[in-house]
Amino acid sequence: MIVIDRIYESKGEAQAFCDACEAQFEARLQQISEEIAGAADLRCVTLSGPSCSGKTTTAAKLTGEIERAGRRARVLSIDDFYLDHAEMQRRGIKDFEGADSLDLAYFTTVVEAIAAGETVQLPTFDFPQRKRVAYTEYQPDARDIYIFEGIQAIYPQITEILEPFGYRSIYISVAQGANICGTAFDKNEIRLMRRIVRDFYHRDSAPEYTMALWNSVRENEEKNIFPYVDRCHYVINSMLPYEVLLIGKYFLRITDDYPTDGRHYDWVQDLRGRLRQFSGSAVDVSMIPMGSVFREFII
């Protein structure tokens, strides 16, 4: 658990604290990127992690670092390999988070074509329509590195397909909780705060809706993600020590009128009580770089 013994009421100190947190994360990512770009025979990278770990921004940052090292990187979202909802229903698939919900046959076809340098049709899945809506033609290049990004990138059913072609795996997650001036916040609680704030501002979802989904999200993580973390080549901690001081302000704002009869009322009020202790912190969104991994979760 990260221990923070002050709330940084001075703007200058708060900015320096945020800068130091960002620099530490960037240094770790750069180290991994350089190692990957320097592996001349490496073609595939997996980037996985549980919900609200920062995978999307990390994939973009990884791409930039690899290309600065002189190679071309292509991000492939495993979400685009979902089966159409109608096909899931036909097969009787109820677990939309599991590997059975993926078109593993077509994923294999794409991976094999990439390995052979053959033109391939990359799918696009539309979540509002719950089906595959398009294909994009792509011609692989021998210098390319392919970043397979998604929660499912750690699933054995995915890594078994990539194994014959060689790959490196990156796992990113909030690996630590925070203890701020004696008040503790669990790492999964921090992720849930991230998701509540992100879903509210970026997906037009009320906090109650996000919290109602959280148990199923956590169940899938325990079943399909966490047992395989030790197999990954690299692990990145996306917990930025300043973040509770900042995201807490967002959480307090959007739960200010949380209904007293809400299913999660007691937890919301407990968390609000803990967060209010730090409302005097000078840490502000203006101090966070636009390219920060934390920007996925705030406005």
Q: For the segment 50-74, what is each residue's pLDDT rounded down to a tens digit?
A: 989 999 889 988 898 888 888 889 9
Q: Quick one: pLDDT at residue 95?
A: 76
Q: Is the pLDDT of residue 97 over 80?
A: no
Q: What dihedral angle (degrees, nearest 10) is formed by the CA atoms of 7, 13, 14, 20?
A: -110
Length of the chain equals 299
Q: Quick one: pLDDT at residue 37?
A: 84
Q: What is the DSSP string of 168-194?
A: EEEEEE----EEETTEEE-HHHHHHHH
Q: What dihedral angle (degrees, nearest 10) is formed by the CA atoms of 74, 81, 99, 29?
A: 20
What is the reported pTM? 0.90
**Do 34 and 166 reside in the same domain of the chain?**
yes
CATH number at residue 110: 3.40.50.300
Q: Quick one: pLDDT at residue 159?
A: 94
- Cα angle: 155, vertex 207, 291; to 5 degrees: 60
**Contact indicator for 234, 170 with CB cutoff of 8 Å:** yes
Q: What dihedral angle (degrees, nearest 10) is formed by the CA atoms of 273, 277, 279, 281?
A: -150
The residue behind tokens 């059975």 is 100
Write down which residue in 150, 172, 194 finishes a domain. Answer: 172
**What backbone phi and psi angles, to 5 degrees, belong to 28?**
-65, -45
**What backbone phi and psi angles, to 5 degrees, belong to 58?**
-65, -40
**Contact indicator for 25, 238 with CB cutoff of 8 Å:** yes
**Do 168 and 94 reside in the same domain of the chain?**
yes
**Do 259 and 290 reside in the same domain of the chain?**
yes
Residue 149 C-alpha from the chain's centroid: 9
**Do 37 and 163 reside in the same domain of the chain?**
yes
**Do 165 and 185 reside in the same domain of the chain?**
no
Alpha carbons within 13 A on the beta-carbon side of 87:
11
**Do 112 and 166 reside in the same domain of the chain?**
yes
Mean of the pLDDT values across residues 123-145?
89
Spatial distance between the Cα atoms of 210 and 262, rounded to a whole number of angstroms? 13
Q: Quick one: pLDDT at residue 40?
A: 81
Q: Quick one: pLDDT at residue 232?
A: 95
Enter the tokens of residue 108. Answer: 């294999």
What domain range includes position 228? 2-24+177-297
Q: Is the pLDDT of residue 38 over 90?
A: no
Spatial distance between the Cα atoms of 220 and 152, rounded to a whole number of angstroms? 10
**Do 41 and 149 reside in the same domain of the chain?**
yes
The residue behind tokens 């990156």 is 170
Mean of the pLDDT values across residues 1-15?
95
Enter the tokens of residue 281. Answer: 């912190």
Share of the chain above pLDDT 70, in %: 100
Residue 192 C-alpha from the chain's centroid: 12
**Contact indicator for 220, 98 with CB cutoff of 8 Å:** yes
Write down which residue in 122, 147, 172 finishes a domain. Answer: 172
**Contact indicator for 181, 4 with CB cutoff of 8 Å:** yes
How many structural domains compose the chain?
2
CB atoms within 10 A of CB 176: 16
**Do 75 and 115 reside in the same domain of the chain?**
yes
**Do 146 and 260 reside in the same domain of the chain?**
no
Write down which residue in 119, 145, 172 finishes a domain. Answer: 172
**Do 60 and 151 reside in the same domain of the chain?**
yes
DSSP tally for the chain: helices H, then strands E:
9, 10
Q: Is the pLDDT of residue 242 over 90?
A: yes
Q: Is the pLDDT of residue 41 over 90?
A: no
Q: Quick one: pLDDT at residue 259?
A: 92
**Do 210 and 277 reside in the same domain of the chain?**
yes
**Do 137 and 189 reside in the same domain of the chain?**
no
